Chains A and B, each alone.
Chain A
Amino acid sequence: MPLLALSGISKRFGNHQALDDVSLTIEPGEVVAIIGRSGSGKSTLLRCINGLERPDRGTIEFDGEVFGSTPSQLRALRRHMGIVFQSYNLFPHLSVERNITLGLTAAKGMATDAARAMAARALRMVDLEDKISSYPMQLSGGQQQRVAIARALAMEPRLVLFDEVTAALDPELIGEVTRVLDRLAREGMTMVLVTHEMGFALRSAQTIIFMNQGRIWEQGPPDKLFGAPQTAELASFIDAILPVDPTRPLNH
């Protein structure tokens, strides 16, 4: 049984059809990378999965249970999944430790000691145990993003969503974050990532979804999708993102 099943998800913003009848299943332990041009609906899809955007149509099924869009149902759905944002969205007034324990104590009702132990463990997973009493402002972008990942992991989600988590980082800081992502993928975490990191997508994803005009345009394992794109849209997208070969003269 799939862990997550979306069927017929559509979402409109004014005149713009952001998502158009998207259906998708994700198996436990699967790593799915969603790629596509900006405006293709990738982020909206991710935000629909955990209810930050309410779809106009369609259903979301998690572990065999259908979730509606009342606040309490959304909260129940989100209890199963974590999300990491492009802009980290750490709480600037709270220490790294409190950023991580807040959800545990205030939402899950965990005792403070247990929550702090959990925070320490989550920070070890992202190699930041020495930053436990720092504040977000004192950390680099890459470190903040790793704290954000630790915060999501501490909630013990069964699925983690990543929304362009390296897009706001300086190039030299991307590696430390993708290393954490690689490790999570190896350890069997179910992950859905909207990403521009094709290296990561090729290495760690089992499934790549190429979105275009609010639809799933092509879908398949990385070697098949990148090796033999079936549509002109995907072929031109791959051309646009692949690094230019410096040994070849540029054609003007």
Chain B
Amino acid sequence: MRAPDETANADLADVDRVLGGDVRAFEGIVRRWQGPLVNMAWRYCRDRGRAEELAQEAFVRAWRGLGSWRREATFSTWLFALAANVYRNDLKRFPAVTVPIDEAPEPAELPAHDAELHERRRNEALRRAVLALPLRYREPVVLYYFHEMDVGAAASTLRLPEGTVKARLARARGLLRKRFPHLDEGHATQAVGNLTERKEA
């Protein structure tokens, strides 16, 4: 894996080449960012085919708008914000198939030998329940975990203040805990506290 500085320099060089008329240089950008963009789209819709379509659309939009990148932020920050915009707008037009969060099923307790299966089902149910959250709470959750629990990065992608993102995350966690009361026993309060602690650390 490349160091962040190396990636940023490679992005910059490729962008300059594309703007100079070398279309093939865009391939370097797609190679570097296809994984993150597809994974980000997957977290928005949990549909592999649609995730690739959305990521492809985001790359094409990025290609069209390369000239509008002002280089005040890193290329990845600009690209993620653009992609989030594409995914959000598309999902507003064609929402992912979800159930209301109150109807999201919580798997019942299973015998001990099925513990692993039970855990998988429970984890998947929780991930799907994220999609059932209202959009204003869903997006901060999706981007916070996509950015490896970095509130600042999630806030940059959403173009929102960090405080707003933290507040929405706390609210989203509250909704998820309410729906899955057995999930976070013993850690419920700490989970919200971790958000600020981790940032301060």
- Please say whether chains A and B are actual partners in one complex: no
